[in-house]
Amino acid sequence: MNDFLHKLPEFIGNHAALSALFAILLLALIVMQITELFSKTKVLTPAGLTLLINRESPLLVDLSAVVDFEKMHVPGAKHVLMSQFDPANKDLAKARELPVVVMDKDGRGNSIKASQQLVKAGFTQVYTLGGGVLAWQQAQLPLAKGKK
């Protein structure tokens, strides 16, 4: 271990760009973890969503494109276009105290924006499906097809 610590400054000096890239990636990883820790929305794995469905019957909102939703979606999910997503909607407002899980095709786009809107609107239990419906499919969990 002491040998490693003695050679580390020499390595950093010889590989400045590589060392800087490592430091930047490490900092980005730390910031992402801290942001997730203090976020009011929680990210669920497919197994975590299964557990939530079995225990609490959450409202499942799928914001995927219409074509993607018709190809595959989590059973029981309600399809809503992002352009029509409104946390102040009277039907959605009834679910303010229920767990709400927001998802999209890959878990990177609309689900994050929608979950933040729900938190701002006063929803207390907001979740996103990490990896989206594709993660659900990769976990080999049941899928539904069609408009409903």
- Mean pLDDT for 133-147 is 93
The CATH architecture annotation of domain 41-138 reads: 3-Layer(aba) Sandwich (3.40)
Q: Place 125 in a pLDDT band, splitting at 50, 70 and 90.
A: very high
Which pair of structure tokens corresponds to residue 91?
């039907």
- Got the DSSP string for 76-110? TPEE--GGG--TT-HHHHTTTTS-EEEE-SSSSSH
Which pair of structure tokens corresponds to residue 129?
């499906």
What's the length of the chain?
Answer: 148
pLDDT in tens, 17-72: 999 999 999 999 999 888 777 777 889 999 999 999 999 989 999 999 999 999 99
Domain extent listing, the chain: 2-36, 41-138
pLDDT in tens, 76-106: 999 998 888 888 877 777 788 889 999 999 8
